[in-house]
Amino acid sequence: MNQDQKKRCKQSICVRFVMMLLSIPVFIGSLASDGFAWEQLRPSQLTSGSQIRKAFRSVVSTPRSWTVRVRANGKEVSLGAIVGGEGWILTKASQLEGQVTCELATSERYEAEIIGVDGKLDLALIKIKAKNLPTVKWQSTSDPKVGQWLVTPGLSMSPVSVGVLSVARRAIKPQPGVLGVRIDDAEGGALVKQVMRESGAEEAGLKPGDVIMNVAGENIENAKALSDFVEKFLPGDRVRVKVLRENEEITAIVILTDPQMLIYDRLREMQKKMGGALSRRKTGFTEVLQHDAVLRPEDCGGVIVNLNGQAIGLNIARAGRTKSFAIPADNVIPMIEKLKLKKYAPYNPVKDAKAQTVSTDMSS
């Protein structure tokens, strides 16, 4: 190839590159007419970029009005969906504790009351003193197809996240939660030999040398009894734990942890660096739609919509770097009226020592 040919070749490559860039706006504009991501935008990493999310603003222009930001003790813990115009809001149950408040897309803020909780779906119905609120528009007659665009609205004009349905409806098997301690037998209970880093036990202040005597109202005789009993609960459950520390009885509320994230320290650190934190409760769901939108755990609890702005489900867990779960709309809708009737009362581990946590022994 001579110099002139090389020069023409380079010019041709540059022209094609510029034409490709110029075609992107047209490319994005065609999304509403065809909901299948593999035909339109690759690689999937581009879906988390701010410019790409801006392209979906029209999709969330209405859904953002039925989305709320939920805070517990002043900290962002989840999103929520307005399911009743008189202040009824659905969100993720295992994120709630203490004083709960909600912020609307209008920037108004309200204190919220927890009305009911369903542990199997990890759903909570909360209530604010407001009227004439816009409510969710559901699409429950059919599931989106694998590869179809899905969008998570927040309070701002741009969506929180954009992704595609990666796996059709399926069940997620339950995985038992753990306190996050290494134990041995002790007189009157189980001796804490080690407290695992970043576990619920560490957060609750348990220490080596503590003797665990009672969990959720169940007296603990030895290490095996403790392990067998805690296996009944799920990651994200809160349990009341009584320990003996230097002849003093202490009570703590421990949020149970996913055992995998404790066993594999390198996995946990890699996840943090590459994709951020995962939800505490991300297993044990009867049916979910799996998508690849990158969500923070505190961005779960709100709806996920199709390109028509219809809610096809409720985001319930961030389960992996590019793996998030949503409960299908036809599973969510029947729970709303049941929770309004307080059929599923919220579990308070301080007041209800003998009760099970929100994730066990709840039937839908």
Mean pLDDT of the chain: 82
pLDDT score at 49: 66
Q: What is the mean pLDDT of residues 186-210?
A: 93
320: pLDDT confidence band, cut at 50, 70 and 90?
Answer: confident
Neighbours of 346 (CB within 10 A): 18
In this predicted structure, the answer to whether residue 154 has a pLDDT above a threshold of 80 is yes
How many CA atoms does the CB half-sphere of 242 hold within 13 Å? 18
Checking if the pLDDT of 349 tops 50, the result is no
Average pLDDT (109-113) is 97
> The tokens of 331 are what?
């599973």
Lowest mean pLDDT among 15-19, 279-283, 298-302: 15-19
Angle value at C-alpha 11, between 6 and 15, nearest 5 degrees: 150
- For the chain, percent of residues with pLDDT exceeding 70: 76
What pLDDT was estimated at residue 20? 42
pLDDT higher than 80, residue 348:
no
Return the pLDDT at 11: 44
Q: What is the pLDDT of residue 120?
A: 84
- Mind listing the pLDDT tens digit for each residue in 242-254? 999 999 999 999 9
What pLDDT, in 10s, does the model give residues 18-64?
344 334 443 444 444 444 443 444 434 344 567 778 889 999 999 99
- Structure pTM? 0.78
Please state whether the peptide bond connecting residue 153 to the residue before it is cis, i.e. omega within 30 degrees of 0. Answer: no
Angle subtended at Cα 287 by Cα 331 and Cα 236, rounded to the nearest 5 degrees: 95
